[in-house]
Amino acid sequence: MPQAIVDIQRDIYLALAEHIKTIANGGGWTDFLTFLPMGIIFGAVHAMTPGHSKAVLATYLTGASAGMRRGLVVSLALSATHVTMAVVIALFSLPLVSLMLGSAGSAPLLEDVSRGLLGLIGAWMLWSVCFRPPHVHGEGEGVAVGFMAGLIPCPLTLFVMTFAISRGVPGAGIMFALVMMTGVAITLSSVALVTVFFRTRMEKLLATRHALLVKISKFVEAFTGLILVVIAMREIFIR
């Protein structure tokens, strides 16, 4: 991971911690609201780090016949679920955290659920290639994939929420998490749009060779389904 990304995250988090401490001591809301847009940068930079299901997102959109709008829908569903899960876990406090989290920043149970559901999507795509004619994947399926991939909670959002709750100002944590979600969505949406752009360019290059395009599309869909199944099995059974 580039050191610059680590430094940006650290500096913003330390500044946020100071604002939350000030609010907890009875003031500083105006300064906090002024600082709040930094959450967009925080979320965008954090989403560039390993994880956040970027590979799953790109893999699915490569195999699915989704356009730009549908790609954005999938990425937004992933971003919203990824951050919201961290907020929900933090708000349910220590009992749920103890159940769901094996260590700081990880959630084994949710990871297994997320990857297991994605594995089912992959198996369905493999079955579809073998037994169904070429088709366009529905928007509902895309939203489901985004939701499943986002079930793993954002660790930094969880840290922010836990710190804010421990200081007695959960509202500040929720506000920052919502702004941070925007930054995460920007990064993941960029991944989605770039993936769809290059896939559609390849489809246009092959547009005059319809039979070949159909074969390639079915191969890519099958390969995508296989990758999702392999990722699911690897994450669940190989720690």
Q: Residue 91: is its pLDDT beyond 50?
A: yes
30-44, 50-64, 79-93: least confident range? 50-64
Q: Residue 86: is its pLDDT beyond 60?
A: yes
Higher pLDDT, 221 or 196: 196
Which band of pLDDT confidence, cut at 50, 70 and 90, is reported for residue 53? confident
Higher pLDDT, 192 or 238: 192
For residue 133, which phi and psi values (nearest 5 degrees)? -70, 165
* Buried b / exposed e along 104-114 (16+ C-beta atoms within 10 A): eeebeebbbeb
Could you tell me the residue range of the domain that residue 165 belongs to?
Answer: 3-237
* Highest-pLDDT range among 77-81, 195-199, 225-229, 235-239: 77-81
Contact of 16 with 24, CB cutoff 8 Å: no
In the chain, what percentage of residues exceed pLDDT 70?
73
Which band of pLDDT confidence, cut at 50, 70 and 90, is reported for residue 114? low
DSSP run (H or E) holding 129:
helix 108-131
Q: According to the model, what pLDDT value does residue 103 have?
A: 47
Closest CA to 110 of 61, 166, 149, 63: 149
Distances 115 to 103, 124, 145, 152, 237 between C-alpha atoms, Å: 19, 14, 10, 9, 11
6-20, 46-60, 73-87, 216-230: least confident range? 216-230
At 134, list the tokens. 């070429």
Looking at the structure of the chain, the number of domains it has is: 1
Which band of pLDDT confidence, cut at 50, 70 and 90, is reported for residue 104? very low
Distances 95 to 84, 98, 101, 155 between C-alpha atoms, Å: 18, 5, 10, 17
- How confident is the prediction for the chain on average, in pLDDT? 80
Q: According to the model, what pLDDT value does residue 190 have?
A: 96
Nearest-angstrom CA–CA distance, 93 and 22: 22
Q: Is 190 exposed, middle or buried (0-12, 13-18, 19+ CB in 10 A)?
A: middle
Task: Find the mean pLDDT for residues 116-145.
Answer: 69
pTM for the predicted model, two decimal places? 0.77
Count CA atoms closer than 13 A to 223's CA, side-chain side: 11
Q: According to the model, what pLDDT value does residue 55 have?
A: 79
Contact of 188 with 51, CB cutoff 8 Å: no
Q: According to the model, what pLDDT value does residue 223 have?
A: 75
Task: Find the mean pLDDT for residues 2-29.
Answer: 90
Q: Residue 26: is its pLDDT beyond 60?
A: yes
At 125, list the tokens. 């795509």
Q: According to the model, what pLDDT value does residue 28 have?
A: 80
Distant-in-sequence contacts of 2-11, Cβ < 8 A, 24+ apart: 5/45, 5/48, 5/49, 8/41, 8/42, 8/45, 9/42, 9/45, 9/46, 9/49, 9/156
Q: Residue 109: is its pLDDT beyond 50?
A: yes
Which band of pLDDT confidence, cut at 50, 70 and 90, is reported for residue 110? low
Q: According to the model, what pLDDT value does residue 219 have?
A: 72
Task: Find the mean pLDDT for residues 174-184.
Answer: 95
